[in-house]
Structure 1
Amino acid sequence: MKNLLYIGNNLNTTKTNVSSIQVLGGLLESEGYNLRYASSYSNKFVRFLHMAWCCIRFSKWANGVLIDTYSTQNFYYAFACSQVCRFFAVPYFPILHGGNLPSRLEKNPKMSAWIFNNSRLNISPSLYLKSIFEEKGFDNVIYIPNSIPLDKYDAIPKRYDIIKLLWVRSFSEIYNPQMAIKVIKQLKDLEYSVELCMVGPDSDGSLGTLKTLTKTLNVDVKFTGKLSKEQWIKLSRDYNIFINTTNYDNMPVSVIEAMALAFPIVSTKVGGLPFLIDDNKNGLLVPVNDVDAMVKAILKIFNNEDLRHQLSTSARQKVKRFDWEVTKTQWYSIFKPN
């Protein structure tokens, strides 16, 4: 399979981070695959129509179709495109995203069966979703982790004279950015010198609420807005602990990148994160929305040099398996002709 149609939200706006379709698509193109994409239309209905139309239009050209599959409205895009592919006998490969996708299996079992039982393969970037799908009886799931070019991420030594927290995500309620503000407030109340930088676009209007919260709690937070990959990696050199406050998650690339940058990481224990972070080995995990627990974990790292070294070294070591030079061979194998 050399000609691939990639279905996903190929948006590039101030409200969106770089998506998996843009990252994986570019990596596959660099390996000689021919890709066409749908869709970059911002209007959801037009985007849906364009996705379905491209599945029809390129049905004779495409050797296979990749379909980014999430639990939200995108699930219905994935359903429609998968059925078009079935009609035209084009092999398709759902790529399973979103920590809340298991709930979609419960809510829409018949639609899920039509999508996932009839695919050539279902590709899970996390062992978490792979295990959930297998429990539901889907036996055609393979694990290929989200990939990064590891040589683009330097493990710069960090200074620990004060606590300098870094948060990287889009501002959306499901990622619970308010928790980060409450964490810095509590650290300040404990009389620690602390800084917090939050990087990402405002996806659902949460940023305005967040700025109001900072004023209410009388804390200073640096909001950078959307940054390019190169910009936030350069910025990260000024910070020493990475925090992830999400309520739902699968296999977040931002956390993988933080591991590659050798950050000590504190994350909520949700979805696929316990499959990515081994608690007390290459990061620390805390309960969802538990500010006290996250504060304690941050202080545990800040006050323990040996722990910091262990977490950062182990994180960098584990993330080597996510290097594109490693994972690309798995993509080669699934695109081989039968």
Structure 2
Amino acid sequence: MAATLWHRNAPGSIPSLLFYRFISRCYVRASSATKRSRAPLTLALVGPIPPPAGGMAMQTAQLLRLLTETDQINVKLVAVNPPYRPQWVANIPVLRALCRLLPYFWQLHKVFKHSDVVHLMANSGWAWHLFAAPAIWLAAWHKVPVIVNYRGGLAAEFLSKQQRWLLPSLRKASVIVTPSAFLQQVFAHYQLNCQIIPNIVDTRIFKGELKPSLTAAPHLVVTRNLEAIYDIATAIRAFAIINKQLPSSRLSIAGSGPELAALQQLVIKLQLSNKVSFPGKLDRQQMAALYAEADIMLNPSTADNMPNSILEAMAASVLVVSTDVGGIPFMVDDGKDTILVPVAMPEQMASAVLSLIAEPDLAATLVANARLKVNQYQPAQVLPDWLRLYQQCEQANA
């Protein structure tokens, strides 16, 4: 039929040429569309990376590694905290902000142009205004769906004070995801719907068992940044009470931050210098090694959401005594897998530790329950939820 049509219109006739050119272009476009549909989804992952090894940075790095290992996602990282270049810029406040923000905005623009979905790691404070909000609006300008993965125990206070600036940006998000029901309740107060996808804990790295040293010479650890919000001083004061009853006990405080000098002075004041050590900032392997040697982890924080440090300790069979703030009661069961105490109460924290040492059966029960609970946070359980959400966002934006 095509040959007959070509003959009737004579070779080289304009209608025939236009007709066949139209058919060829349609075929090429259809073929290109089919190839694109078979290509892996391109995800822009925006967030902090270690160092420092904070909770959100570790989750960003872990998610990046897991997504890179799957053939379903082509992931591109945009770090909000890359090293300063040149390094001396870090010592000049205003200049360092410009040297970080301007390249960051340009990188967002370049990556979003070729992305199907944006996964934005976000938390409270200036980091929201400087890094998260601009990413949301730039993604909207590029017409790319953005998933806001909000974290941090200070969200309620931050939203209350800054809602005029936060809510317009949050409502631009395609989906808001939080790691806990605690933050889901916080956002519901502002008529913002959230999905829950928990933190990821890789139990291949964090593993261990209950140790005989618990009753004789317990090794206690604190694995939070040395910042006021984490109230490490309460843990030191609790340890001073414990050490009076158990002189062979010791405490390791792993982390870095502005409170280091004050905490070291407190240790000297309480005459614990030969019992308390500050190993500093540890990477994941070093942290796993510390947990492998530890008996009890103390978490004295005054505000929190879903601290990965607690999950890592549970995975390593390290007993956990924590304050009952923010999202912590949503992630653990007091008396079943963890012991919770009020904020800034060193006497109660010490009493909880001593009860675990005095009751080996209780300690064994808590460790067994904790290990069962932490299984739900392994990559095999959590990663499929992210992959499913990425696909849903891409399809909704098609």
TM beyond 0.5: yes
What's the offset of the Cα at 1:11? 4.5
Letter in 2 for 1:110: R
Query: Within the alignment, does 1:88 sit opposite 2:129 as a pair?
Result: no
CA distance in 2: counterparts of 1:182 and 1:46, whole angstroms: 42
Distance 1:257 1:44, change over 3 A: farther
Q: Which residue of 1 aligns with 2:306?
A: 251
User: Which is worse superposed, 30-39 or 62-71?
Assistant: 30-39
Q: Which residue of 1 aligns with 2:3?
A: none
Q: Choose from 333, 348, 355 the match for 1:293.
A: 348
What's the offset of the Cα at 1:9? 2.2
Contact kept, 8 Å, 2:222 with 2:253, in 1: the verdict is yes
Query: Within the alignment, does 1:216 sit opposite 2:269 as a pair?
Result: yes
Q: Choose from 120, 131, 146 the match for 2:199.
A: 146
What's the offset of the Cα at 1:191? 5.3
Q: Which residue of 1 aligns with 2:226?
A: 171
User: Which is worse superposed, 249-258 or 170-179?
Assistant: 170-179
Q: Which residue of 1 aligns with 2:10?
A: none
Distance 1:91 1:75, change over 3 A: same
Q: Which residue of 1 aligns with 2:42?
A: 3
CA distance in 2: counterparts of 1:98 and 1:44, whole angstroms: 23
CA distance in 2: counterparts of 1:275 and 1:163, whole angstroms: 28
Give the count of matched residue pairs. 334
Contact kept, 8 Å, 1:266 with 1:294, in 2: the verdict is yes
Distance 1:270 1:235, change over 3 A: same
CA offsets 1:29-80 (integer angstroms, 9 cap, x no match): 1223222323314544433333322222222201111211111111102112
User: Which is worse superposed, 126-135 or 250-259?
Assistant: 126-135
Q: Which residue of 1 aligns with 2:110?
A: 57
> Superposition RMSD on alpha carbons, in Å?
1.8
3-state SS in 2 of match to 1:181:
helix
CA distance in 2: counterparts of 1:319 and 1:126, whole angstroms: 14
CA distance in 1: counterparts of 2:100 and 2:306, whole angstroms: 25
Contact kept, 8 Å, 2:149 with 2:177, in 1: the verdict is yes
Q: Which residue of 2 aligns with 1:105?
A: 159
Q: What stretches of structure 2 of length at least 5 have no aligned partner?
A: 1-39, 85-95
Query: Within the alignment, does 1:282 sit opposite 2:337 as a pair?
Result: yes
3-state SS in 2 of match to 1:58:
helix
CA distance in 2: counterparts of 1:314 and 1:257, whole angstroms: 14
Contact kept, 8 Å, 1:145 with 1:327, in 2: the verdict is yes
Query: Within the alignment, does 1:242 sit opposite 2:297 as a pair?
Result: yes
What's the offset of the Cα at 1:4? 1.6
TM-score, length-scaled by structure 2: 0.80
Contact kept, 8 Å, 2:210 with 2:318, in 1: the verdict is no
CA distance in 1: counterparts of 2:326 and 2:292, whole angstroms: 28
Q: Which residue of 1 aligns with 2:281?
A: 226
Q: Choose from 313, 316, 335 the match for 1:261.
A: 316
User: Which is worse superposed, 70-79 or 26-35?
Assistant: 26-35
Between Structure 1 and Structure 2, the one with more helix by share is 2
CA distance in 2: counterparts of 1:7 and 1:45, whole angstroms: 18
3-state SS in 1 of match to 2:294:
coil
CA offsets 1:85-135 (integer angstroms, 9 cap, x no match): 112211111111110011121112132222222211111011210121123
CA distance in 1: counterparts of 2:54 and 2:79, whole angstroms: 16
Letter in 1 for 2:224: R
CA distance in 2: counterparts of 1:121 and 1:47, whole angstroms: 27
TM-score, length-scaled by structure 1: 0.93
Q: Which residue of 1 aligns with 2:27?
A: none
Q: Choose from 122, 139, 145 the match for 1:69.
A: 122
Query: Within the alignment, does 1:137 sit opposite 2:201 as a pair?
Result: no
What's the offset of the Cα at 1:16? 5.8
Letter in 1 for 2:343: V
Contact kept, 8 Å, 1:169 with 1:254, in 2: the verdict is yes
What's the offset of the Cα at 1:12? 2.4
- The structure with the larger Rg is 2
Percent sequence identity over matched residues?
A: 25
Contact kept, 8 Å, 1:71 with 1:100, in 2: the verdict is yes
Distance 1:131 1:153, change over 3 A: same
3-state SS in 1 of match to 2:120:
strand
Query: Within the alignment, does 1:158 sit opposite 2:158 as a pair?
Result: no
3-state SS in 2 of match to 1:243:
strand
Query: Within the alignment, does 1:317 sit opposite 2:358 as a pair?
Result: no
Query: Within the alignment, does 1:124 sit opposite 2:165 as a pair?
Result: no
Contact kept, 8 Å, 2:155 with 2:186, in 1: the verdict is no
Query: Within the alignment, does 1:207 sit opposite 2:248 as a pair?
Result: no
User: Which is worse superposed, 186-195 or 91-100?
Assistant: 186-195
Q: What stretches of structure 1 of length at least 5 have no aligned partner?
A: none
Contact kept, 8 Å, 2:239 with 2:251, in 1: the verdict is yes
